Amino acid sequence: MPDQSSAVPDRLITERATAEILGISPDTLRRLGHRGQGPTRRKISPRRVGYKVSEVEAYRDGKSLEHSPRDRGRSSQRARE
């Protein structure tokens, strides 16, 4: 499997690939998203999300990623659905 972390920085990667890069499970990644933490989730289709490689690497490297209030609202709204 190719090294996802060396990909083009603004390319979107899958939830599974993101979880592997961060060393966590996809469920933990989803929980972080619902709390407004971690890299920002981007809706690819009604059933799929993706993450920007640059944001995943920044989060992995310990840089603080602030979600905009709009992003937090979406995460908490999704949690209620």
pLDDT of the residue at 59:
92
pLDDT of the residue at 32:
92
Question: Domain residue spans in the chain?
Answer: 4-67
Q: Is residue 11 scored above 60 in pLDDT?
A: yes
Q: Where are the alpha helices (DSSP H) in 23-68?
A: 26-34, 53-60
pLDDT of the residue at 10:
84
The answer to whether 38 touches 65, Cβ cutoff 8 Å, is yes
**Fold category of 4-67 in CATH:** Multidrug-efflux Transporter Regulator; Chain: A; Domain 2 (1.10.1660)
Q: Is the whole-model pTM more than 0.75?
A: no
* pLDDT digit string, tens, across residues 17-49: 999 999 999 999 999 999 989 999 999 999 999
How far is the C-alpha of 16 from the C-alpha of 19, rounded, in Å?
5
